[in-house]
Copies of this chain bind each other. A is one copy, B any other.
Amino acid sequence: MKRLNLVILFLLIVAAGNAQKIMGFTDTNAANQIYWEKKFDAQLSAKNMETWMQFLTSHPHHVGSPQDKMNAEYMANLFMQWGYQTEIASYFVLFPTPKTRSLELLGSKPFKAKLEEPTLNADKTSGQKTEQLPTYNAYSADGDVTAELVFVNRGIPSDYEELERMGIDVKGKIVIAKYGGSWRGIKPKVAYEHGAIGCIIYSDPEDDGYVQGDVYPNGAFRPKDGVQRGSVLDMPVYPGDPLTPGVAATKDAKRLNRSEAVTLMKIPVLPISYEDALPLLQSLGGQVVPASWRGGLPITYHVGPGKDKVHLKLQFNWDIKQLYNVIAKLPGSELPDEWIIRGNHHDAWVNGAADPISGIVSELEEARVIGEMVKKGFKLKRTLVYCAWDGEEPGLLGSTEWTEDHQVELRKKAVLYLNTDANSRGFINISGSHSLEPFFNEIANDVIDPQTGVSIKERKYALTMVTSDKPERVKLTGNKNIKLGALGAGSDWSGFLQLLGIASINLGFGGEGQGGEYHSIYDSYDHFVKFTDPGFQYEVTLAKTTGRAMMRMANADVLPFEVNSFYKTVAGYVTELKALLDNTRTETAQENKMIRDKLFDFATDPTKKFQSPKEKDAVPYLDFSNLENKMEQLKNITEEFQNQYNNAIQLPADKRNELNEILFKVERSLINEKGLPGRPWYKHQIYAPGYYTGYGVKTLPGIREAIEQRKWKDAQENIEIVSKTMENYTQQVQHGMNIIDSK
């Protein structure tokens, strides 16, 4: 040990010469941190990841399957070996599985859908038929419906407006929608709102099949009989177990009846392959679809209905299943009650090599090396918490129940939640709390891309430049900052960020390992090592990225939150919303005039059925002044704070700790306990999944969705709520400022 310390000391002296800085670290601590980061990088093993992937994907491991439980226990054992305090946190959740699935076209050319993904010789696990979940949408309603079929494009609200103009009503009909354009659960929800009694969703080859590339097993893309399984739980209302909103689904929890659970879909809904979709779409009559609705099947797409009806019958086992989260802690030596949390789910729809095992094996290897380094003298000030979530696929069940269960403790202790999920070859993508933008940019600058030898930040910049059009490039030149995306829904951050106000980040690599395996039996080890990331290079690079974030966040002298970066981002959103309102006003007036002038009628081919759009209410001016004043105060205090940030590093330890607590809790001030309009579970005022987009984020959602839905009174009310939220954030930063000033 003594000899090791001498070596470290020597290296620290050498490093001090180069003096690489890390945000929030004194120079000495930065040099020590970098020393350990290099050791960390050197020990990461692609081989380990591959071995674990082989085991974890060896059988289907959805919620309730034997392999699901076995995987949790396998990972818990690993964490324990590496020195982590490990537990399995179990919950009991509603998880329906199919009992009956039948879809047929009636009439003169009857057709019965296959609803089956065939075994492929080239894919070893594809034949595990008795263990696989069949192709279905979890939380579809039971139903037995026969009706005319209508093609509704993506099945989002604007598609129904277009249908209305074409004179098509879906009341009492079954709709068929293409995957894409929204989260899948939006499609049956909107169909139901328009009176449809059933919903079919299919993967069109234009989006997800031969149009994109050669199909599996020759290429990576979705074959004709591949099906995207997936949940249709109404997660934009609340995620997690549908029977226990807001509270943990413990064995004895008080549960809603199924009929009371508003997130359960109201109509039967079934996903199918493009081979199964073809005869259904071919049977449709009516108008030819608008150009933007076309897909990649070799037919003329029609809106329908056809002369033949469709019969859809679905029945489910509505069982409560046990799920298994793995929670592994490595307690901090100085600040054990400040938690840096890392998560990736482990459950899959079938074998799930890419989704989620590519992410979890990277997390495991990251945790292993850090655990080993701690055994060899690496010190972590704060506590690391590694989580492997179960039940993400059906509806973020494991993470949501755990955050609901531990909300008091998490509100107190959680500094950061860092999420990953399926990972692939290519380019870094980062989304999340914008106060962390500079911190993650610094990391992206320090991690080297394995294919090009430049930093992942440089490579991302190259992609942005090359894929931008020429006028855009001029504007972007030299701006290498990775602008974080905002988080909607899609993986396990929701409980942390949107329920509890814990600063959260989701990141991963992608863009070069595309394929069509998503949520099918072909998301397998064989597919992954042939097409997605053969050498696991990007799972290693992911570990370098997330590992750095975990270790730096654990050891920072002053936590690397950049409140002015948050201000700037929100100021951009406010500008956007004002423009949205103004544009909506101008366009409404414009369109109303066009309607009155009959321009829509004059422009229409009279041989086609057409309803001129209806005039809309005029858009009022709203009062943004309170919000603008609060933004001005936020601007001033955050600029001042960032100017003083480096001084904060010199504060005495107790003051620094006080400041750090303010810093990681500043995101809590973005929570409004009443939640968003109509969905109290979602409490974050800056980021939420869109009520009609699902995965797609809505920023400043209370205001933005009110404007989009033309609820002007709600919009004004939410402007005031966000103003108050900004005031709270400003006060927190002011408290931080006071601490710095007090030195």
Known: A294-B211, A590-B477. A459 touches B300 (CB 8 A): no
Identify which of B211, B213, B470 contacts A590 (C-beta below 8 A).
B470
- C-alpha gap A465/B451 in the complex (Å): 49
A474–chain B nearest beta-carbon distance, Å: 6
A603 touches B300 (CB 8 A): no
- C-alpha gap A597/B473 in the complex (Å): 14
Known: A298-B298, A300-B215, A300-B219. A426 touches B590 (CB 8 A): no
B603 touches A288 (CB 8 A): no
Known: A210-B298, A296-B298, A298-B296. A600 touches B474 (CB 8 A): no
- C-alpha gap A607/B450 in the complex (Å): 13
A148 within 8 A of B: no
Contacting B at CB under 8 A, from A199-237, are: 205, 210-215, 219, 221
A584–chain B nearest beta-carbon distance, Å: 10
Chain multiplicity (copies): 2
A600 touches B213 (CB 8 A): no
A214 touches B288 (CB 8 A): yes
A605 touches B298 (CB 8 A): no
A463 within 8 A of B: yes
A458 touches B294 (CB 8 A): no
Identify which of B205, B597, B603 contacts A467 (C-beta below 8 A).
B603
A529 within 8 A of B: no
A613–chain B nearest beta-carbon distance, Å: 10
- C-alpha gap A212/B473 in the complex (Å): 35
A461 touches B298 (CB 8 A): no
| Chain B neighbourhood of A454, CB < 8 A | 602
B452 touches A601 (CB 8 A): yes
A474 touches B298 (CB 8 A): no
| Chain B neighbourhood of A602, CB < 8 A | 449, 452, 454, 458-459, 462-463
A632 within 8 A of B: no
A87–chain B nearest beta-carbon distance, Å: 42
A588–chain B nearest beta-carbon distance, Å: 10
A to B CB contacts below 8 Å, 28 in the list: A210-B298, A210-B299, A210-B300, A211-B294, A212-B300, A221-B300, A296-B296, A296-B298, A425-B605, A426-B605, A452-B601, A452-B602, A458-B602, A459-B602, A461-B599, A462-B601, A462-B602, A462-B603, A463-B602, A465-B594, A466-B594, A466-B599, A466-B603, A467-B603, A471-B583, A473-B587, A474-B587, A512-B605
Q: Which 5 residue pairs across A and B have the least CB separation, nearest first?
A: A462-B602, A466-B603, A462-B599, A462-B603, A298-B298
